Structures are given as structure tokens and as C-alpha cells.
Amino acid sequence: MAEERCKAWEFIGKNGEFRLEEADKSSYLYFPLSNEAGMMSVVTPKLHGDIKTSQNTFALMPVSVEDLHNTKSARNFWLNIDDEIIWSATGNSAQQIALHFNPEDEKVTVEAGLLWHKVIRENEKLGIKSEITSFVPANDDTVELMEVKITNIGEKDKKITPTAAIPIYGRSADNLRDHRHVTSLLHRIKTIDSGIVVNPTLSFDERGHQINDVSYGVLGSNQNGERPVGFCPIVEDFIGEGGNLEWPKAIVKNLDVYCQAGKELEGFESIGGLRFKDTILKAGEEESYIIAIAIGENVDIVDSLAEKYLNKDLFDNYLSQNRAYWEEKINKVQFKSGNPDYDNWMKWVTLQPILRRIYGCSFLPHHDYGRGGRGWRDLWQDCLALLLMEPEGVRDLLLNNFAGIRIDGSNATIIGSKPGEFIADRNNISRVWMDHGSWPFLTTKLYIDQSGDIDFLLEGQTYFKDAQIYRSKRNDENWEPEDGNKLLDREGNIYKGSILEHMLVQHLTLFFNVGEHNNFKLEGADWNDGLDMAEERGESVAFTALYASNLLEMANLLRELAERREINKLEIAREMKLLLDTLNNKVDYDSVEAKHKLLGQYFDSCVSRVSGDKVEISIEELANDLKVKGNWIIDHLRKNEWIKNNEGYEWFNGYYDNDGKRLEGDHPLGTRMTLTGQVFTIMGGVATDEQVEKIVKAADHYLKDDIVGGYRLNTNFKELKTNLGRLFGFAFGHKENGAMFSHMAVMYGNALYQRGFAKEGYEVINSIYRHCKEFKTSRIYPGIPEYINQRGRGLYHYLTGSASWLLLTEVTQVYGVRGELGNLVLNPKLLKKQFDNEGNANIYTLFANRPINVIYKNQKELEFGEYNIIDIIINDEEINFEIKDQSAIIKKELIERLSLDDVNEIEVILG
Ligand code: G1P
């Protein structure tokens, strides 16, 4: 494809602020504006994009990415200049669009930061300029604010007649193609002193209509707080017969369609059409207008926002509060390396997990699915980053999340909006993702390592219960929704087990749930949602490896628990003891049948309820059981899944398809390899060091491609593999079929770092960064997108689990600052080029709730592998530390003496 020339964004501040000139020359750009109250907006360089607080409360019409260029329903602000020229300050007029390709006509620049967005539009010929700043204040209000500043950059005086025009959709996203017209009949519209408020009578749903109390308002004033002089609340009046939102007759013909405050109308599509008084702007003069787009519980609440926000001083004040709020939030982790642009780019990556906490996996233009909320695996992986950024509430969050696990090791997949709220799946048989059981352990392990709170393992929690049993292979006829969503014991009491027990059941059930090649069954899919068509015979070797390393790590954690708590026994559900076969009658692990038999017995024992009885087991025996199982898997994988192809490359096979055929290796249609198959074998130590080297060679050969910014998820299978999953229906190089899928690529980088392959790990991460920064190809603002497609474009920006993993990788691997049961471990894996000119690299982060600033001093300019930690000085005092496997370990007791409020300076001398 011929590449359009374009400017690239550049950073203009230290907190990720950037500027993109000619922003209107790129399509599909969007930027999020949000707050913790759940206001979720998205804006484009032409102020397109929607605003909502949930699936059912969209103030502006919901947009999918194609709508950004395809619909006219955007935020708009019109000027009639000297009764002659019609100009849209947002660029959304038919005339401007027609002239758009002549760069001389209008210059459009976007500047943005945390979390504000400014578009500057300058038309020298007309002598007019607009600067529109948008943000969502960081407080409890669900309101988006805009300041529209108009400047006369010409030489003569100008009379301007300004009109804000913001179409109010005011209903559920579902109504876009479900009674769009009928739902406009529900609209009750009022003009108030400051603007227009729509309060639909009902929230329309043919399964049961409900009285609606949500109101939507567009309010405005000029910079001094003077309210509009007229209101046009009905779309058809505003556009006029034959007009449209980009050439509305109300503006173009200067029609008198405006009414006064106090008017009530009903039953039409509405618009926040606010006419402001005419103003004479002398040359060089400017005038500002403040617009608020609000979602509120009732008209009065919306009205009250007018007082709070509608004048320039208030706007400026809230804007600076907003910047300070977000800067403080993301500056909980900061990096300073030899590449300031990278450090700045990481600010956006750091913000992304917070955005995903707010938006879920829906509500940005590419994320046009789901109804808000996140999936199970996202819930856990997003916590990885939150542990670093917002550690305060994470213990509760984790504890609550465990209530979603079923006693058969599967979990609820419909996650409610409150922490710990899981909703029963009413489908008879629902899908089970086999990877789901592996994430809680990873996150919990990180939590315990960072905090030292090993007692968390013994905390009690309920189990989730619905009609799904036998890992959703059967239905529990005895369960009724009225029984509630908590597992009961035989007496009808709510059953609770420890957190450890929850994680055990997730791992042990899967250990026995194997396919014909004795790897864990793929079930409904694994991490890759697109591998969803191999339910019967598919196997995920990739995730079998992750579970294996989890089992081994869990065994270590148990031994630590025994030592720290001075205990040697703990309690688990009586039924579960069956799964600890080495404590009873050891099953022949080579026999798939024997494994199934035991699993069947376990499932039979906990169909509707559990007994409620607990048995005591020895921690040593339990740890040993897990170890035996983990080691068996590792041997099995090394023996059976390591492949060598005709070209002499070697790597791990990751999957079996629904015909029971191995996926990877040589194939008449071309070599088949997946990245996922390599990531977890490397991460968990299934691959030996020599195997890692071979995998890297194979991945570099088959998967690496600069066109997509690094390592593809798979090679081109050139086949619609309906015996494996829908992803083979996607064009190659897109999304889960062979794109550079950031989440897995970053995990690949992480795995390489974990194994000490720093140069290789750096290359993985850096190639993603380099690509994203190459704006002419990636066409995204700073940050990491979900994937890079075949043309090199970044898609599904902002909401992606890869951001959590990238942040985690930078902190715990690249800068090597991590916990080990509360001890602080320092093990930098920075390459020479990552240090600055003075030989320093610096990370500021929280550890055990204490702010620490770690400065690595590499004065001798040594390369990774050449340097060791020689000395550590904390707050000007040299301290004792232990060196283990290149890592310096600083004891928990010493960390506990550090300040909780003041920054603790940790100088680490490398030599
Ligand atoms: C998305 C989903 C994630 C899933 C992945 C692959 O990735 O959110 O749960 O595992 O696709 O199918 P993400 O958005 O995290 O980049």
C-alpha cells in the first residue's frame, strides 16, 4: 500500500504530553477521557466519538471504529462569521471536509496528556482559529467538559455567531439497531437556563421496560458564565429539511429555530443546540465557551453541574486538578533510562491498566463488543499492574475474585460490576477456558512476593455455584437460581475453603483432565480466545507447561508457609483429598484413562453440594504431591513435545487439534509454529537453557517480522482449520491469526528476561516500541495496542492486557525490582544502552507500600552479563545484602524500617 506521508507525534512534556501535527490526516485515531466515577468518553481529532457510563447509558451515539469517519453525529461548534462564512470549529462541516485534502487550508494539531485532549484548528485564509480542550474532571461527576476558544487571527474585526451542536443519543447502545426510532419517542426534552436536558421516560427493553431516571444534558456558557441566548433541542429542526449535521440549515441559512429556557418538548431525536450571543472579535482577540456534556440521575443534578463548571476560571481549575490527579496516579512507577522517549511512552503504558479497570474490555471504538466488564483472565492479569500502581485495595480485590471459582476448578465467566460479584451463566452448557485456572496463582504469587503476606493463602473464601458441573460438561438439575450463587455444604451452610484450596482445585482438576496425548485438554479455548473449535480432542500443550511450573512454585510456597507459620498441617475439603493421589493410591500418570477415572470420581463427589467436612493433611506431603505432578508434566513435555523440523529448527509444539493431530512442525502448506507454545515452556523452566536458545532461533526465523513490529503469534497456516478455531477464519496477520499480538509477545519478552536472556527479551519489547513510535505506519497515539496488523497499523489501542505485562516486565525484570516473600530482590537486566550518559538507570516504584527510588550506577559502562551488584546504599547508609543467582536480596526486616512517606533512595553500584 502506498504510504501517505504524515507527521509523527512527538513528546512535549515529561508526563507523556505529546503533539501530533496534521492529526486530521490520519484515520481511526482516538483518545480516551475518563474518571473513576465511570464516565467513559472517547474523542478523535474531529471530536467524534461517544460518551457513556455503561452499556445502557450513552449520552452520544455509540461508535464503532468505522463510524468515526462514517457518521456525522459528532461534537460540533459552529461559527457564522460576519453573516457570510460558515465554519465548524471541530472541522465537521461539509465544506471543510470537501476542502480537507488541501493542507494549505486548515492546520489541525492535537496535543494531549494525562487525561486531557486539545485540538487546535487554524485557518489562516479565514483568519480564524479554534482550540478545543476536553477532559472529564477527576471527581464524582459524570460530565465531560469542553472549552472552545475562538481567536481572530485575521487582521480585521469579525462578528461571530456561535452555536454548539451536540446530538444527544440518551439511551442504551442496544437501541442502535433495536427500536432506534421508537426510543426517540420516549425522549422528554427540557430547555433550562444553561442548556438542554433529555430524560427518556423508559429504558426500553422488550423483555421488560423500566422507568428510566437517567438524564442527559448539554450545557454551556461563555467564558464569563453568560448562558446561551437560545436553544434548538430537536435534530430535525436543527438540520432542516434536506440538511444534515454537517450542513445544518439552522446554521447555514441562519434560521430562527431557537427557543428560550423553560420549554418542554417530547418524542424526537434531540440535540444540544446552544446559540450564544453574537460577539465582535477584534484582530488577535479571543473568546471562550465552556460546554458540559453530562449524564446524571435527574434533571436537577444535571442542572447543578452548570453552576459548578460553566465559566473559564472553573474550567481551568478543574483542568489543572485533573492533570495533577492522573500524573500522581501514574507516577507511582517511573523510569529514567538513556531513552527519555521510551520512558515517556511507558507513562501511557502505565496508564493503560487503569483505563482497562474503568472501561473493561468494551467502550472504545475498536472494542465494540461486550457490555462492559472484563473477562476472568483479564480480571486477574490487570491486577498484576494494579499491584504495582494501586496496591492499597488489591488484597480485598484478590480475595473477592476467588469467590468466582467453582469446586470443579472452573469459574464463573460473567463478572458483575461490584468486586466479587459473579453472575450465573444461564446457558445450559457454557464455555470453559482451560487457561483460566492458571492466572489466579500468578497474581497471588506476585501479591505475596511484593507484600510478604503469605497468610493470605489461609484466608477463607466461598466457592461459586450455578448449574454448571463437571467443568460445564453437565447440568446440575438440582440447582435453582434461588439457591444463590454460593456453594453449600450438606447442611445447607455456605461452604468456605482457603485461598490455597481454591488454587489447588484449579490445578489438580486440570492435571487429570487430559487429552489423548496426555496434555491438558483445550476445552473451550485457552488464552487465545480464537482457538475455540477443538473442544473434544484439542489439547493446549502451551498451558500445560504453565500449570506445571505453577504446581512447582506452589509447592515451594507451601514449604515457605510451613516454615514461616511454623505449621506442618492444613485443612482442605475432604473431597479434594482424592486429587492428591500420592497421599492415597498413586495413579499411573502415563495412563489417560486412569486420570479420567479419578477426575470422574472427584466430580461425582461434589455435584450439588460438598460435605463440608475437612481433612488435615501434611504440608510436606501436599507439597510433594504437587512437585511430583509438576515434574511429571515437565518430563512428559520434554520427551514428547520438543520438535525438530526439516530445516533443522527446534521448538515446542503448542497444541493438538480436534482430530488429535499435532499442530506444529513441517507441513505441506508451510512450517507451522506458534509463539504461545514457546512462551510458557520458557517462562516456567520446561525448556532448558539450550532449548531456549534454539527456540529463539526458530522464533527469529519463523515468527519475527518487522512489518508487524516483532514476533507474530503464529506462522501462516494457509488453511481454514475448523478443527481448531475461528481464528483461522481471520485473514493472516490480523488479530489472533498471526498478528504481532502484544499480550503474548510481551509475555515472550518477559519469559526470556526471566531466563536471563536479556538481549533477546529487550529485542522483543523494543521492536514493539520502535514500531508503535513509527507513527506513519502504526497510526496510534503513544501506548501499546492489542495488536499490530498485517499493514503495520496498531489496533484496539489502550485496553489490552499487554500493558499490565509490559509494566510488570519493566519493573520486575528489566529493572529487576521485585519481591520474594517480602524481601526486596534487585536483579537488573538492563543493557548498556539503557543507561543514560552518566551511566545511571533509575526506577521509582512502591515496594511493600514504601516509595523507593532505585538508581543503578553503571559507571564502568559494563554490558549486561558483565556487571554485578557491588554495593547498595539506602538513604546514605551502606547496607548488608545477600547475593543469590546474580540477585541482591535485601531482607524484609530492613525494608520494614524504611519510611512509608518519604522516598527511600537506594543506590546500587554495579561493577
Ligand atoms: C484479548 C483479551 C484476552 C485474550 C486475548 C487473546 O487480549 O482481552 O483476554 O486472552 O485477547 O485472545 P488483550 O485485550 O489482553 O490484548
Range(s) of the domain holding residue 571 = 379-517+546-614
Give distance in angstroms: CA of 801 to centre of ligand 1.
6
Are 285 and 421 part of one and the same domain?
no
- Which atom of ligand 1 is nearest the CA belonging to 435? 10
| Residue 15 CA, ligand 1 centroid: distance in Å | 27
* 25 and 115 inside one domain: yes
CATH of the domain at 55: 2.70.98.40
What's the pLDDT score for residue 430? 82
CA distance 537 to 729: 20
In angstroms, rounded to a whole number, what is the distance separating the alpha carbons of residues 405 and 180? 39
Write the CB contacts of 719 (distance below 8 Å, at least 6 apart in sequence). Answer: 669, 728
Q: Residue whose CA is closest, atom 1 of ligand 1?
A: 800
**Cell output for 313:** 476560571
Mutate to test the pocket of ligand 1, among 786, 788, 795 (most ligand atoms within 8 A of CB): 786
DSSP single-letter state for residue 315: H
Cβ atoms of 323 and 116 within 8 Å: the answer is yes
End-to-end CA distance of the chain: 50
Distance in Å, CA 322 to ligand 1 centroid: 30
Which domain-ending residue is among 330, 361, 391? 330
Report the CATH number at residue 859.
2.60.420.10
pLDDT at 2: 44
Nearest atom in ligand 1 to the alpha carbon of residue 796 is: 14
Residue 686 forms part of a structural domain = no
Assess whether 394 and 265 both reside in one domain. no
Same domain, 482 and 593: yes
Res 100: pLDDT: 66
- AA identity, residue 713: L
Domain membership of residue 619 (yes or no) is no
Do 389 and 291 belong together in one domain?
no
Atom from ligand 1 closest to the CA of residue 799: 14
According to the model, what pLDDT value does residue 373 have? 75
Q: Say if residue 820 is in the same domain as residue 898.
A: yes
Distance 465 CA to ligand 1 centre (A): 26
Number of domains composing the chain: 3
Task: Report in angstroms the alpha-carbon separations of 478 from 79, 362, 432, 475.
Answer: 67, 35, 21, 9
- The SS3 call for residue 786 is strand
- Are 565 and 453 in a shared domain? yes
C-alpha cell at 673: 509454529
C-alpha of residue 692 to centroid of ligand 1, in Å: 25
Indicate which residue's Cα is closest to atom 5 of ligand 1: 528
Smallest CA separation from ligand 1 atom 10, residue: 527
Same domain, 302 and 240: yes
> Residues enclosing ligand 1, CB less than 6 A?
361, 375, 377-378, 527-530, 736, 743, 786, 800-802
589 backbone dihedrals φ, ψ, rounded to 5°: -70, -20
Instruction: Please say whether the beta carbons of 727 and 530 come within 8 A.
Output: yes
Q: Best mutation site among 529, 540, 675, 742 for ligand 1, i.e. most ligand atoms within 8 A of its Cβ? A: 529
pLDDT at 712: 98
Q: Is residue 603 part of a domain?
A: yes
Pocket test for ligand 1, best of 543, 746, 800 (most atoms within 8 A of CB): 800
- Smallest CA-to-CA distance from 56 within 183, 218, 240, 185 is with 183
* 174 and 320 assigned to the same domain: yes
Q: Evaluate whether residue 396 is within a structural domain.
A: yes
How is 345-367 classified by DSSP, letter by letter? HHHHHHHHHHHHHHHTT-SSTT-
Please count the other Cβ atoms lying within 10 Å of the Cβ belonging to residue 868: 12
Q: Which atom of ligand 1 approaches the CA of 530 most closely? A: 12
Residue with CA at minimum distance from ligand 1 atom 16: 800
| 522: in domain | no
Same domain as 315, residue 444? no
In a domain, 56, yes or no: yes
> Per-residue pLDDT tens for 475-485?
999 888 888 89
Shared-domain flag, residues 513 and 451: yes
Which residue matches cell numbers 484496539? 796
Q: List for the chain the helix, strand, coil content (%; round to 5).
A: 35, 25, 40
Does 684 fall in a domain? Answer: no
pLDDT at 428 (0 to 100): 65
Enumerate the H helices of 641-684 as residue ranges. Answer: 676-683
State whether 396 and 489 are in the same domain: yes
Q: Is residue 2 part of a domain?
A: no
- Tell me the pLDDT tens digit for each residue of 365-421: 999 988 887 789 998 998 999 899 988 888 999 999 999 999 999 999 888 777 788
* Listed residues 586, 614, 642: the one ending a domain: 614
User: What is the pLDDT, as a whole number, of residue 80?
Assistant: 97
For the chain, list residues with pLDDT below 50. 1-2
Give, for ligand 1, the residue of 442, 522, 533, 743 to mutate: max count of ligand atoms closer than 8 Å to Cβ: 743
**580 forms bridges with which residues in the sheet?**
none
Pick the last residue of a domain from 585, 614, 643. 614
